[in-house]
Structure 1
């Protein structure tokens, strides 16, 4: 069988010093222990799953734990680390740069450094940064700059800004809501329409966005009318904007979820995702196997495996 030559757009890096820092702060990744990471183990996993190249990203909680200066320092450290990995293996890796949001000035400075000097392939943003969602007016200077640059932005969930449910870890269900909230917020705030050259990739198949998109579009139209918004966004416009997102298959490729994603999303806007190493090799392989077993035609399969990602990251094309 020919290798699928997958390009993985949801693939995490855990710089060792960054991991040590998170552990010293008592942090987890949405309830998950922060895993160890090294290049050799990562490449072995990629090879086992037919992944030709991966775009690396730092997962939640990012680098902002409450202090702007500390967040800027760690964003620079993890970006420099990721850039070195890419430099050594440019055919196997790209990376999404980490920004110290909600520090907007620091984020603008780090975005310029990462994109212009390190050659980052895009930016990773958490769905909410310490309770502030991406469409918030305070983030508009950053969104305008990313739009001006035509940046690819990977949106990854974080812990919800609210109390936890005992026995329900954030990564199990809250992450899906967080991504869905972020997508709704980006559309309703007008961010996606103001900055159409920004490409947003939503994690985990967009949370439950594809499943609930029609309900979301109709209810948001009604919500605007009730609250007296001066210019109401029509339901069809909301739905069209929601379809403009990209969606990765991380922890999503299965016979119950894929049909909805494939029906809702633009077929050129679905990319392969593994969520390694936060998803263990066994968990990630389970979903990859489900994707391989799903009855896609050759065009659909190659589009998801690599062609759609190649359009975003042409230097990673085989």
Structure 2
């Protein structure tokens, strides 16, 4: 199925694969409560979710398939509790995908930063459950996912070519919030923090098969990219840690279109991100369908992409990352 004429189609897409699509299963909420967590993230409204609401939204928005994630995944608990929690949620995700194999994929949740438990669950989620990738948050109790202590995890994800979808979460220390949700201001900075870590740890160079998607257009990465490359100008020894071409290095990261479809944010992302590294993201249902639809329409109609580039953004890039979904075209 190809893209229809923009002048006649009602939806922003016609054949998209949405890689930033949240679900909040009742099972997940119940499992959180069992271990003493009452909310997915304090200060953030929890929308009502049913699989039918996702599928109907996808139909209206021209989204053929969505790779769903359960955010923020496994809370800060010990390794045994975290592993048990992750297994329960991932088995539920596998059941959901099996019921809708052409419409839904899923990112597994992992009990990070517990390395051994996470490696075991990564293997189980891929080899036994057949899930399509792993969903991470930027930091786990202050351990950011680019930390060298997680190098074995990066190596295994790279070896298996398992896509990693990284969504921001609350920073590990309290920041001034002014009575506002932490997601409003801190989430883009969270992704910038992770980007700086990935850059100066040369994570992608050491694990060239790593396929990492940074949500929300990479947060503030595009705006901060050149500044992040200035480390050696501030402290000379950082030159030894910085890749030879830091901008080209950052362009190897994938990002999605969630919350960047406006005339202020998107030009920055457009200037940095390759069309072959941009993926469709709706952020549904935490962001309303009307908002994501308007943003997607802006990107499709005003992004300055060729027809071939739009096809890559809408379907082709995601098909390369998620071959199981590609066969349902």
TM-score, normalized by the shorter chain, greater than 0.5: yes
Counterpart-to-counterpart distance in 1, 2:219 and 2:42: 15
Distance 1:283 1:265 in 2: 22
Candidates 190, 214, 239, aligned match of 2:226: 214
Contact 1:187 1:193 in 2 (8 A): no
Shift of 1:223: 4.6
The answer as to whether partners of 1:127 and 1:156 remain within 8 angstroms in 2 is: yes
1:113 is paired with a residue whose SS is: helix
Length, aligned pairs only: 313
Aligned-pair distance for 1:96?
A: 1.0
Q: CA deviation at 1:117?
A: 0.7
Q: Deviations over 1:35-87 (max 9, x none)?
A: 33221111001111110000011112x21233322221211111111111111
Matches within 5 A, 1:4-23: 4-22=14-32
TM-score relative to the length of structure 2: 0.89
The counterpart of 1:288, out of the listed 271, 281, 296, is: 296
Contact 1:4 1:302 in 2 (8 A): no
Asked if the contact 1:187/1:241 (under 8 Å) is kept, the reply is yes
Superposition TM-score, scaled by structure 1 size: 0.92
> Partner of 2:121 in structure 1?
110
CA contact (8 A) 1:224 1:232 kept: no
| Cα displacement (A) at 1:300 | 2.5
Out of 75-84 and 15-24, give the one that drifted further: 15-24
C-alpha displacement of 1:216: 1.1
Alignment partner, residue 242 of structure 2: 233
Mean Cα deviation higher: 190-199 or 133-142: 133-142
Q: Is it true that 1:90 corresponds to 2:101 in the alignment?
A: yes
Q: Which moved more, 1:147-156 or 1:43-52?
A: 147-156
SS where residue 91 of structure 2 aligns? helix
1:7-31 deviation digits (Å, cap 9, x = unpaired): 0010112221212344662323363
**Structure 2 Cα separation of the partners of residues 15 and 102 of structure 1:** 23
Name the counterpart of 2:171.
Answer: 160
**C-alpha root-mean-square deviation of aligned residues, in Å?**
1.9
Contact 2:83-2:111 within 8 A present in 1 as well: yes
Report the alpha carbon displacement of residue 125 of structure 1 after superposing the two structures with TM.
1.4
Gaps spanning 5+ residues in structure 1: where?
none
What SS is found at the alignment partner of 1:301?
helix
Deviations 1:200-259 (A, max 9, x none): 1110000111112111112x233552xx3583425x422221111011001112222222
Q: C-alpha distance in 1, partners of 2:247/2:107?
A: 27
